[in-house]
Homo-oligomer: A and B are copies of this chain.
Amino acid sequence: MQDLPVYRATLEAAWIDYNGHLRDAYYGLVASYAVDAVMDHLGIDAAYRERTSCTLYTLEMHIHYLNEVKFTDALEIHSSVLDFDAKRIHVGCLFSCERVETPVAAAEFMLMHVHQGDKPASLRMPESTLDILAELKSSAAAGAPFAPGSRKIEIKRR
């Protein structure tokens, strides 16, 4: 069993909005940094990007905001590999802080492995990365289901 490292975020004062808590977009920035750490873990790090001109592009992101986050909160992001194929990775990130018992946010990303040339094109990931992904997906599947999951955003009427 293999797990991804926990990402610990240091909040900046400029990220706090007029409501006195973390502006919605900065949850995304924290999650984006957490995904950078996931990339390093998968071997898609700066050296790999330099050597191969390959990297990951984000295709989609969804965030559920579950609780206010304040400047004094130390955020921890637990990431997991929810799914993958030869070119794509579906990552989930749960945000937690000591003040609140349940997750304060949940984010999902769909990432695609891309060769950056004149025209960027999707490309199969290296076997070593696919091997790590397989282990991480098994590990995530053995744990609690990721919740709340991404979905169509809509006002439902009864």
Contact = CB atoms under 8 A, between A and B. Distances in A.
Interface of A: 18-20, 23-26, 28-29, 31-32, 46, 49, 55, 57-65, 68, 83-85, 88, 90, 108-110, 116, 120, 149-155, 157
Q: Please report whether the interface of chain A is mostly helix, strand, loop or mixed according to DSSP.
A: mixed
Contacts of A62: 60-63, 150, 153
Contacts of A29: 23, 25-26, 28-29
Copy number of this protein in the oligomer? 2
Given A57-B65, A155-B90, A25 B24 contact: no
A28 B24 contact: yes
Contacts of A88: 155
Contacts of A151: 150-152
A153 B152 contact: no
